Structure 1
Amino acid sequence: MQQETLHAAQDVEVRRVSEEAIGQIRAVAAVAFPATYRELLTSAQLDYMMEWMYSVESLRAQFRAGHVWFMAFACGEPCGYVSVERQGEALFHLQKIYVLPRFQGLGIGARLFRQAVAHVRAEHPGHSLMELNVNRRNPALHFYERMGMRRLREGDFPIGGGFYMNDYIMGLEIE
């Protein structure tokens, strides 16, 4: 599908997916995740993180642990995803949000983000907090700020294999 045929995010369907979508998630991740981080991480860390987060076993475990996944489809083609994990009574973590590079700039990321917020509201009416870890050098920082998130804290988090995530933790208060 060519981007030119997709006019705006309204041409995109976002729907909740189950474990049956693991293959589609992996296919989008195989392109979107390295495209996001190839300038920020070593190839060794990129490979490690792909296996750590996107192996079939890891994705199955995420679904079974209660992570909720939504995928964006442009004319039936998977083009992005978001996952949200409940971490407390009123605390949620936006675990992943990625859009294929050729679909970026069309509002699909914003649609996925708004879907995550709607999910949090449905799960916990009233005040809640949605947090997100984002690499401190990731250009998507500006996207999250435009979506209303603010930087809460930062840290260097060991993830195994001698690797660290050097992140800001951003938050969005949801009413």
Structure 2
Amino acid sequence: MPPKLRLAQPADIPAIIQLQQQIWEPTYRAILSADQITYMFEAMYSPEVLANQMTTQGHTFVLAEDADQLLGFAAFAPLEPESPIFKLHKIYVLPVTQGTGLGKHLLSEVESRCRSLGGTELLLNVNRYNPARGFYEKQGFRVIREEDIAIGPYWMNDFVMAKPLVSQVDQNPIAA
């Protein structure tokens, strides 16, 4: 049975942080230094930063849970206000759930929600050395460019990936 998906509220922030404490280091230890992992975690997962994303920046967080245990989450937002292009800012699942279809389930929910909001394309950034790139490619994303982003004294060396959210048939319906 698939996990329950629900939208997060600011009251869920402590649970999101607790979940990320279990996910962040195992996800990045092979590609980032321990100091960079700590710095980025503190910069990206403080209660204040997450609250700002939820309440001011328009990020929608989708939580996956089973038997009241949080298993993973995703966060997305329009690239710009009123834009049909959305960005997947975060998608993480517990290491023990990787390979079970949970990430695909979360991503499918994000895509569906973006489409319902008029989204035509979904973008994401993935570290160039992160094996998750293969997961995204299997889900229909393609690399469109490289991007280097300064985060404090560190650099994120990413691929920007994109996936259309409407098919060619949807874009060019044949008149009957």
Match of 2:171 in 1: none
- Equivalent residues in 2 for 1:1-175, closer than 5 Å: 10-64=1-55, 65-88=57-80, 89-124=83-118, 128-160=120-152, 162-175=153-166
Code of the residue aligned with 2:99 in structure 1: it is G
Taking the aligned partners of 2:68 and 2:37, their CA distance within structure 1 comes to: 28
Taking the aligned partners of 2:75 and 2:114, their CA distance within structure 1 comes to: 11
Greater RCO (Cα-Cα under 8 Å, separation 6 or more): 1
Larger radius of gyration: 2
Query: Deviation string for 1:11-64 (max 9, x for gaps)?
Result: 311111111110111011111111110111011110111011100011011101
Code of the residue aligned with 2:24 in structure 1: it is F
Question: Normalising by structure 1, what TM-score?
Answer: 0.90
Q: Give the deviation of 1:122 after TM superposition.
A: 1.0
Taking the aligned partners of 1:61 and 1:78, their CA distance within structure 2 comes to: 21
- 8 A Cα contact 1:81 1:99, kept in partner: yes
Code of the residue aligned with 1:171 in structure 2: it is A
Taking the aligned partners of 2:135 and 2:24, their CA distance within structure 1 comes to: 16
Q: Which runs of 4+ in 1 moved over 4 A?
A: none
Match of 2:173 in 1: none
Taking the aligned partners of 2:132 and 2:90, their CA distance within structure 1 comes to: 12
- 8 A Cα contact 1:11 1:75, kept in partner: no
Taking the aligned partners of 2:39 and 2:108, their CA distance within structure 1 comes to: 30
Taking the aligned partners of 1:43 and 1:85, their CA distance within structure 2 comes to: 29
Alignment RMSD (CA, Å): 1.0
Question: Normalising by structure 2, what TM-score?
Answer: 0.90
Q: Give the deviation of 1:172 after TM superposition.
A: 0.6
Gaps of 5+ in 1: 1-9
Code of the residue aligned with 1:147 in structure 2: it is Q
